[in-house]
Amino acid sequence: DWPPLSRFEAAKAAVDRFIGALPDLYDADLDDLYLMGFSQGAGLAIALALQEPTRYHGLVSLVGFAPRVDDTLLATKPLLNMPTLMSVGLTDDRIPAPIAAHCRQTLIDAGAELTYREYDTGHRLNRDGMHDLAAWWRDRAG
């Protein structure tokens, strides 16, 4: 069974501390944050976006999953119009097709502006996926 949103609290706190340190460490602009994660990191990225959607400008889920989310939260459309890329490996043995489909539906139900891509690969991002990811970022950098 996939973890509920509440199971991400400790990881969320660690990411919050890291993000808070970015301006001092790298002179980062906290007004232009995007989230990207692979596998479990994608689950964390989705959890963060669902909990603090106004903090982030976009979301990338690479062969990952979405945490279990209460329908009441989804009804508020927390990711309304958030640019989101979801990449799925069709032969992924770690994130099987039903889980990927659930993740996709969660993002749709949350209101994300979803770009969904499937690739003939397992639990990784292949060359086509890397090209699509680069194009997605280029579209946002303009």
pLDDT tens per residue, range 74-85: 999 999 999 999
pLDDT recorded at residue 117:
98
pLDDT recorded at residue 2:
81
Sequence spans of domains, the chain: 5-141
Half-sphere exposure of 72 (CA within 13 A, CB side): 1
pLDDT recorded at residue 85:
99
pTM to 2 decimal places: 0.95
Half-sphere exposure of 86 (CA within 13 A, CB side): 24
pLDDT, tens digit, 9 for 90 and up, residues 51-110: 999 999 999 999 999 999 999 999 999 999 999 999 999 999 999 999 999 999 999 999
Terminal-residue alpha carbon distance, the chain: 40
Average pLDDT of every residue of the chain? 96
Q: Does domain 5-141 have CATH number 3.40.50.1820?
A: yes
d(CA 33, CA 16): 12
- Kind and range of the H or E run holding 35: strand 33-38
In the block, which residue shows the tokens 């990411």?
Answer: 15
Evaluate whether 113 touches 119 at the Cβ level (below 8 Å).
no
pLDDT recorded at residue 80:
98
d(CA 114, CA 107): 7
